[in-house]
Amino acid sequence: MSIAWPTLRALVLEALVCVATVAVAVWLWNPVVTALAMVVVATRQHALFILYHDAVHGLIAKPLRLNDLVINAFAGVPMLLPVHVYRSLHMVHHRTLGTRRDPERVLLYVGQDWDYRPLPARRLLRQLVFDTLLVNQLKTVVAYARELYGPNPVLDLPRSRWWPELVGLNAVFWGGALAFAWVEPTLALRAAVVWLVPLVTLTQGIQKVRSFAEHAALDAHELSYSWQPGLLGRLVLWPYNIQYHREHHERPSVPWYRLPEAFPEREARPGRTLPALLWDGTL
> Do β-strands 227-228 and 61-62 pair in parallel, antiparallel, or remain unpaired?
unpaired
> What pLDDT does 7 receive?
98
> What pLDDT does 221 receive?
53
Q: Residue 90 and residue 86: Cα distance in Å, rounded?
A: 6
Q: What is the pLDDT of residues 43-55, one digit of tens each?
A: 999 999 999 999 9
Q: Is the peptide bond before 63 cis (omega within 30 degrees of 0)?
A: yes
H/E stretch holding 45 reads helix 31-56
Mean of pLDDT over the chain: 92
| Mean pLDDT across 156-170 | 90
> What pLDDT does 148 receive?
82
Looking at per-residue pLDDT, the higher value among 93 and 167 belongs to 167
Q: Residue 241 and residue 257: Cα distance in Å, rounded?
A: 7
Close Cβ partners of 88 (under 8 Å, ≥ 6 residues apart): 157, 158, 159, 160
H/E stretch holding 2 reads strand 2-3
Computed on alpha carbons and rounded to an integer, the radius of gyration of the chain in Å comes to 19
pTM of the model: 0.94
Give the percent of the chain with pLDDT over 90: 71
> What pLDDT does 188 receive?
97
* pLDDT range class, residue 107, cuts 50, 70, 90: confident
> What pLDDT does 265 receive?
87
* pLDDT range class, residue 225, cuts 50, 70, 90: confident
Which has the minimum average pLDDT: 14-28, 152-166, 206-220? 206-220
| Mean pLDDT across 193-211 | 95
Q: Residue 30 and residue 47: Cα distance in Å, rounded?
A: 26
